[in-house]
Amino acid sequence: MKRLQVVVLVVCLVLTMVSVQTNAAPEEGKSSGVNFLKTNFSEALAKAVKANKPLMIDFWSDG
C-alpha cells in the first residue's frame, strides 16, 4: 500500500511539472509578458483606445 502511494505521488508531481511547463511557453509568433512602448502619452492613448485595451503608465522620479 505504501508503494502505491509513492507511485501515485510521483505521477502527480510529474503531471504537474509537465502542465506548468506547457502553460508557461508562449504560442509561436506571440511574445509573453508586457510590451512596453517608448512613445508619448497621446500616441499611447490612441493606440490603447484603438485596441480597446487599458493603458498602463509606468514612471519614476530620480529626485
Q: Give the pLDDT score at 38.
A: 85
The DSSP letter of residue 25 is S
Q: Are 48 and 39 in contact (CB under 8 A)?
A: no
Q: Which residue has the higher pLDDT, 20 or 56?
A: 56
Residue ranges per structural domain of the chain: 34-63
Place of cell 509573453: 32
Q: Are 48 and 54 in contact (CB under 8 A)?
A: yes
User: What's this model's pTM, rounded to 2 decimal places?
Assistant: 0.42
Q: How confident is the model over 15-54, as pLDDT tens digits?
A: 787 766 555 556 666 666 777 788 888 999 999 999 998 8
